[in-house]
Chain A
Amino acid sequence: MQDAKNLKEYRKEIRESLDNDFLRTAMDNFAVAYRGSRANAFKDMDEKALIREIADAKDAAASRLDELFAQFKEEAEKRGAVVHLAKDAKEANEIIGRIAMDENCKTIVKSKSMTAEETLLNHHLEDDLNLKVVETDLGEWIIQMRKEGPSHMVMPAIHLSRHQVSDLFSDVTGQKQGDDVQALVKVARRELRQEFVDADMGISGGNFAIAETGSIGLVTNEGNARLVTTLPRVHVALMGLDKLTPKLHDALRVLKALPRNATGQAITSYVTWITGSNECAAAEDDRKKVHFVFLDNGRRALAKDPVFSQVHRCVRCGACANVCPVYRMVGGHKMGHIYIGAIGLILTYFYHGTEKAKNLVQNCINCGACKEICAGGIDLPGLIKDIQARILEEEGHPMYSSFLAKMMKNRKLFHKFLRIAKTAQKPMKGKDGFMRHLPMIFMPDHDFRALPTVAEVPFRDMWAKVQPAKVAAPKHKVALFSGCVQDFVYPEQSVATVESMRNKDVNLEFPMDQSCCGLPLQMMGEVTAARDVAIQNMEAFEDTDCDYILTMCASCASHLKHNYMKMLGKDPQYATRVQEFADKVIDYSSFMNDVLGVEKEDFLDSAGDAVTYHAPCHLCRGLDVKAAPRELMAKAGLDYKESAEEEVCCGFGGTYSVKFPKISEQLLAKKVNNAKESGAKVLLTDCPGCVMQIRGGAKKQGADLEVKHIAEYMAERRK
């Protein structure tokens, strides 16, 4: 569970996790293996279509929860089960406690249920009612005995070594145990079998609740859910209302994605379908007492929320945690109170409140890895940002955030600030274009990367000089969006862009009223300011006569294309205009490769350098651009060497890296190492933020690695 009181405490906890080498290695190995097995599991399927179908079906179910519940209750009760609805955690626990008392149950075996974790059911049963509760899922049993919470949705004990488990089992059995995993599992089998023999009541969760027949479905690998629902004379299943689904078909469809996404299995060893009260020799009249308890705890309200109802699409596969680069380093409850990973950040807010969520929710770098693989197609990073904004509204904006919002809303003021910064940084400026030391406001924690200085002359001041002559009959009319970094820090990247499309019949414009894209504001949860900036930019480009709005920054591009629509698309005043604007936005590599269609012949004949690549999150996932930059490099005659984990975030994340420098540092270290291991001496990428991060990291580490924007190389290699 997450209990940090403030951001400072939270950072300290994160630091402790980062220092846990065992956990780090376990998570790293898992992350790499998982990616491969997941891809393999989906290889013969239309994964995207399946996810869309699940999303649609779940949305439809969420819109009629009450109706589905009523139907489920009627059908299940027809078949001998009793159905309850609990408004909150306390009520759910009391209902289950009462069933135990009424049925005179003393010992309980439980198979894994996240919903029971959510309500802290065990505390109630053990501490308040003095019942014996034994978790029977191996990982859950282990952490129960260690009095810990699960650190992963599907692998609750991933943070423990076999030695720790061996010590634990030695204590439990009173016999010395060895370190062999297979043997330890056998010990667990025998010890737990005894618990099943003794138990009066079995408690399970439910992966599916099928309204049409009042049936539930349980998905397990170990088979403990089958024993839990068979041996004891009483069975209680506790489920969130979000598990309700109209028909069996819905469940079978989710079943196609759930195990594939969770562990890369086509299906789990066991899927159990239970309808009504079945035969049970241990029960009085040979019929099991079956109770289905549904938990609301905010779910009905959530289902009505226009933005957040999509949270109910979650099938609890845990994949969003499996791919999250932040979760991978900090593990367990440093990313979620009970539920963990990307969805955990969101559910913590809705099920456990602002207090529990406010620190956690900031710990998302917005890399989009979770969104890409979510079985329900949930826009997880988007919702995380929305929650951050909500919390800001509830708790008040911190000073730095309001200050930045105010300043960035006013383009002239913001640009003036950047120009002043240029002068102010003079004393700290090294000859190499990096700051020699960091200003005092940055903590020592931030010293992991060298930071660039603001350029002598921003791109906007060079434009008059570098702009190409107008073409009479241009093939393409393009307006450049430079973004603040390429305007004020790396103007050479913008110049290279201009140069790289020389003689290609392109008319270029640079609207002077453009400002920062506004993504940093959105990252901080400053929604109003982000929206104001969006309108300014849209208007600045409406004055131009262009077919494309080209940006060399992947983050700006995906923000302009997707988030502007989200912010303004529903406002009738802007809806059509913002759609037009967004449709024109394109990234550098796609424009060069797909639109302009540069060819091998456009580049020098000499053999180019060996290069490797970093795929910016907002390009490869945000815009789904994967092939274009690689094709460009090949056409330009470069010897492209793929790096390991090329699509994993470099740790920049704008303001995120300022808030969580230790995490940013670790991500960066991995990135630089992978690049070095590729054997290339040059790394290219499509985003000035990533250039800043990786170049700064390589410099600090003294790595022999040059980092450039892909446009710079294309310009150099143009004939």
Chain B
Amino acid sequence: MTAKAESVKLFTDKAELVSAVVTEISSLDEAYKYTMDLCGKKEACKMLISGCEQNLSNTAEQLCATKTGKTIVAPALAKKEAAALEKQCEENGFTLIKDSVRNHLGGIDIAFTRVDHGIAETGTVVLNCPNEELRLATMISEVHVAVLPKSKLVDNSYDLESWMEGNMMKGDYTAFITGASRTADIERVLAIGVHGPLELHILLLEG
């Protein structure tokens, strides 16, 4: 195996260990398509697993009402990419949220992002997100679809040091994301999605 193929394999293994779903793709179009499929499979107009169906207090219940229809959020995309994604959303009857993510704290079905790096050693994706919309999108959505170019894969967190330090010199918010949000706080039973996404899909983009 080439060094790159080895990193891809290690990354995939480690990410899958924490139940991320890793798929190799060769174009962004494939990524849009993947996202549409995923969104389509989610039950219509209903938060699948995030708790709306539970017995909630009145105030928390109200928050559920803020969500209507299926929503995808994709901030911080280049114009052309955003347009392409929007077109597909329209065709499928999904709403694409482009800004004011704060108005959707009740929840969003899918966040679509391009991440900056991947760390093979731990199966981690790295997202530089001083942009608040981008940051929030990956926190409040139920599913996070992250596109990671293979060329941005590094072996080890140490390899990102100078890149991160460069960002930090300016003021910064960077997230290491590994798998879905999880907790084991009740009887040590592993439960997914306590605050953040319930699923993480990583699309490894050729190139």
Instruction: Give chain A's interface residues, CB within 8 Å of chain B.
Output: 26, 29-30, 33, 79-80, 136-139, 142, 155-158, 160-162, 165, 172-177, 181-194, 196-197, 210, 212-213, 215, 221-224, 226-227, 229-231, 248-249, 252, 255-256, 263, 265-282
Contact = CB atoms under 8 A, between A and B. Distances in A.
B50 interface: yes
Contacts, number: 220
A186 B50 contact: yes
Given A226-B139, A252-B157, A191 B56 contact: yes
B28 interface: no
Contact of A269 (B52, B169, B171, B178): B178
Interface of B: 14, 17-18, 49-52, 54-60, 62-64, 100, 102, 105-107, 121-124, 130-132, 135-136, 139-140, 157-158, 161, 164-165, 167-189, 191-196
Contacts of B174: 272-273
Given A189-B51, A269-B18, A274-B173, 16 more contacts: A157-B186, A165-B186, A186-B51, A190-B54, A190-B63, A227-B195, A230-B135, A230-B173, A248-B161, A266-B14, A266-B123, A273-B173, A275-B167, A275-B171, A275-B172, A277-B171
B122 A191 contact: no
B180 A162 contact: no
A213 B162 CA distance: 12
27 contacts: A26-B187, A29-B188, A139-B183, A139-B185, A142-B186, A155-B185, A158-B188, A160-B187, A173-B60, A185-B192, A187-B55, A188-B194, A189-B195, A191-B56, A191-B60, A221-B184, A224-B195, A226-B196, A248-B161, A252-B161, A265-B18, A269-B179, A269-B180, A272-B173, A272-B175, A279-B130, A281-B100
B186 A162 contact: yes
B207 to A, nearest CB: 26
A137 B195 CA distance: 9
Nearest to A225: B195
A223 B193 CA distance: 9
Given A223-B194, A273-B168, A161 B54 contact: no
Contact of A80 (B140, B171, B188, B193): B171
B182 A267 contact: no
B183 A187 contact: no
Contacts of B183: 138-139, 185, 221-222
B181 A223 contact: yes
Question: Considering the complex of A and B, which 7 residue pairs feature the smallest CB-CB distances, nearest first?
Answer: A223-B196, A186-B51, A276-B171, A175-B55, A139-B185, A213-B168, A271-B176
A271 B56 CA distance: 30
Nearest to A81: B171
B56 to A, nearest CB: 5
A278 B171 contact: yes
Contacts of B102: 231, 281-282
Contacts of A278: 130, 132, 171-173
A215 B172 contact: yes
Contact of A230 (B58, B139, B172): B139
Contacts of A138: 183, 185-186, 194
Contact of B56 (A161, A182, A187, A270): A187
A332 B31 CA distance: 48
Contact of B188 (A155, A210, A224): A155
A185 B189 CA distance: 10
Contacts of B106: 193
A187 B188 contact: no
A269 B178 CA distance: 4
B168 A210 contact: yes
Contacts of A267: 122, 124, 176, 178
Given A224-B195, A248-B164, A269 B157 contact: no
Nearest to A223: B196
Contact of B63 (A194, A223, A231, A248): A194
Contacts of B184: 155, 221, 263
A263 to B, nearest CB: 8
Contacts of A176: 55
Contact of B193 (A136, A177, A189): A189
A269 B130 contact: no
A223 B14 contact: no
A136 B181 CA distance: 13
Nearest to A194: B60
